[in-house]
Amino acid sequence: MVGTLVLTRHGQSEWNELNLFTGWKDPKLTKQGEAEAKKGGEELKKFGYTDFDMAFTSDLTRAQSTLGIQLKEIGQEDLPTKKDQALNERDYGELTGLNKDDARKKWGEEQVHIWRRSFDVPPPGGESLKLTADRVLPYYEKEIKPEVLKGKKVLVTAHGNSLRAMIMNLENMTGEQIVNTELATGVPIVYKIDESGKVVEKKILE
């Protein structure tokens, strides 16, 4: 039996547009973000992904709104959905709300890059990708993966770094490899997974 797991990063948020570190803050989608979510939904429909068994999303508005737009597009607005803060974006700590260019001026390009894209160096008071994975992956293993292994079709709409944690696990990537993987906003990534948990197919719907 082969299950389907579709991962989507939320569309552009108001703080993405303003180039601010966002983390656990809760800005809404921009018009562009809504359009990206709609396009992702259209791609799902075009490729026949219109019969999901369940969905998962975070506790944050930008992910929930993106999921809602996708579900409307594929005619599954009543799909059973679990929301959990385990799937939230990584906590950016003291960087939250700061402009990314201003942060580079204050701490230097290299330090800010280390905070954003090293695997295990957390920003002050916040989470590294490793710490993010430490709370995302137990939830994934307990709630999401068992459904996929049963052959279900599961849609997960969340955030750049919570999805990176899952992708690292699915594709057996190292910390170094995953930090340099950029996820486009609103673009569904489809994994077909066999009952042993092995990825048998990956497709990016863009």
Ligand X SMILES: O=C(O)[C@@H](CO)OP(=O)(O)O
Binding site feature residues for substrate:
9-16, 22-23, 62, 89-92, 100, 116-117, 160-161
92 binds ligand X (CB under 6 A): yes
Q: Distances from the Cα of 142 to the Cαs of 55, 69, 148, in angstroms?
A: 15, 27, 11
Of 5, 11, 21, 156, the one binding ligand X by CB under 6 A: 21
| Torsion angles phi and psi, residue 86, rounded to 5 | -60, -25
> Could you tell me the smallest distance in angstroms from the CB atom of residue 174 to ligand X?
18
Amino acid letter at 128? S
Pick the stretch among 19-27, 29-37, 166-174, 192-200 that binds ligand X (CB under 6 A): 19-27
Q: Are 45 and 76 in contact (CB under 8 A)?
A: no
116 binds ligand X (CB under 6 A): yes
Region of 181 please: left (phi>0), alpha (psi -120 to 50) or beta: beta
Among 36, 43, 73, 89, the active-site one is 89
> Could you tell me the smallest distance in angstroms from the CB atom of residue 21 to ligand X?
4
Name the pairing type of β-strands 189-194 and 2-9.
Answer: antiparallel
159 is catalytic: no
109 is catalytic: no
Binding residues: 9-16, 22-23, 62, 89-92, 100, 116-117, 160-161
> Could you tell me the smallest distance in angstroms from the CB atom of residue 145 to ligand X?
24
111, two tokens: 């330090």
> Could you tell me the smallest distance in angstroms from the CB atom of residue 117 to ligand X?
7
160/186 with CB nearer ligand X: 160
Q: Distances from the Cα of 125 to the Cαs of 3, 8, 90, 95, 118, in angstroms?
A: 38, 27, 11, 9, 16
Of 160, 162, 165, 168, the one binding ligand X by CB under 6 A: 160
Q: Are 185 and 16 in contact (CB under 8 A)?
A: yes
- Give the residue numbers annotated as catalytic, written as ranges: 10, 89
Residue ranges that bind ligand X, judged by CB under 6 A: 16, 21-23, 89, 92, 116, 160-161
